[in-house]
Amino acid sequence: MRTSSTNEAVISTATPTATPVVAGPERKPPAVLSRMLSLHDFEAAARARLPRPIFGYIAGAAEDNASRDDNRAAFDEYVFVTRVLRDVSRRTQSVEVFGERYASPFGIAPMGLAALSTYRGDLVLARAARDAGIPAIMSATSLIPMEELVRECPATWFQAYLPGDQARIDALVDRVRRAGFRTLVVTVDIPISANRENNVRSGFSTPLRPSLRLAWDGMVRPRWVVNTFLRTLARHGMPHFENSFAHRGAPIMSSSVLRDFSARDNLSWEHMAAIRRRWQGPLVIKGILSVDDALMARRIGADGVILSNHGGRQLDGATSPMRMLERVVDALGSGYPVMIDGGFRRGSDVLKALALGARMAFVGRPFNYAAAVAGEAGVRHAIALLRAEVDRNMVMLGVDACAGLNAQALIRRG
């Protein structure tokens, strides 16, 4: 888990199991998890549990899904060089970011509308991350007020989409600070809404529009209707977009209310510099894909960057972050925290990114699927699977710490 002076975490040197940690000694993990052997397995299981529009929103990307698919393909361009007969019996996969030590070199990426995947989904993800000692980033397009989540999981990072004018930016930043978040992640790769044809085809919109098609999609997934949607309505009322601005946003379902998609095409680095002056904690800029932008982020005072093409959900045809990772790290130097997301599914993916200089990898869709399959127990199980793969692969690579990985552990095909 994340460590402090009073609670030091130790990563076991024995081969870890994939058994999830569950709250309470009498609770058993859901039976479905015995069939979840890798992060890949959660996707098909989530498809069977979620209404078609919800699953389509999570799984799809922009236009032809080329960037989404290339995020996965990029990992196959690298193969490992193993080392043998190296004592790794005292190995640890813990890493330090912004003065905090985390138990593993991966975290949970921000995912909008997670509370549609499972009941109180944003809290489910944050709790699982907290208990596993890894970072989680709360999405701006979440359906649970940020103040509620950070009270329970104070180490969570918050990800913001910037409104289109400085006054509303300042108000949002002030709200995040008052809520108690310590790390602010600003996503900068959405100056305009993307062409997400898959949303139209699957019947997804924000807000969701009541229709016969939507009703049918719910009827064929009654477990989701009862356990997620009706349970939320009964206990908390209609979900709203709670955290996009300093004020509450639109409801998630409405036949007439329009969501505020304020223009962001006027935003510039000057707005980021203003945020830097206003925000006193660690500031991370997410959505970087070029060396020049990474250098500019450091120049305006950002404490770190996350290389990302938004999971392929913005510009279809944008390069994979993995293809830019080594160049950005070379430009910024190994001491500057360069993080990454996009297509991570295996412990080997995480270690390839670390070997190219990443400090931390963030995983999105698989943890969302895990939450849909089995709630918090599903996310814990997914974390345990990925953690076990990282540990096993470190042994076979002959490294006893993440810092021991470098480009010499990889060969690029061709």
Our CA dihedral for 137, 140, 143, 145, rounded to 10 degrees, sits at 80
- CA 265 to centroid of chain Cα atoms: 24
DSSP 401-412: BGGG--GGGEEE
Q: How far apart are CA 279 and CA 111, in angstroms?
A: 23
DSSP 214-249: HHHHHHT-HHHIIIIIIHHHHHH-S-B--SSSSS--
At 378, is the secondary structure helix, strand, or coil?
helix
The single-letter code of the amino acid at 399 is: V
Question: What are the backbone angles phi and psi of residue 138, rounded to the nearest 5°?
Answer: -80, 135
Residue whose C-alpha is closest to residue 373's, from 37, 24, 49? 49
Q: What's the token pair of residue 255?
A: 């036949």
Q: How far apart are CA 144 and CA 127, in angstroms?
A: 14
Any idea what the Cα angle at residue 341 is, between residues 294 and 201, rounded to 5°? 115
- H/E run at residue 78: strand 78-80
Pairing mode, if any, of strands 304-307 and 283-288? parallel
Tell me which residue has tokens 């392929």: 312
How far are the Cα atoms of 39, 179, 291, 329 from residue 145, in angstroms, in the given order? 28, 10, 35, 35
> Is 247 known to be catalytic?
no
Catalytic residue among 40, 236, 271, 310: 310
Q: How far apart are CA 251 and CA 135, in angstroms?
A: 28
Residues forming the active site: 310
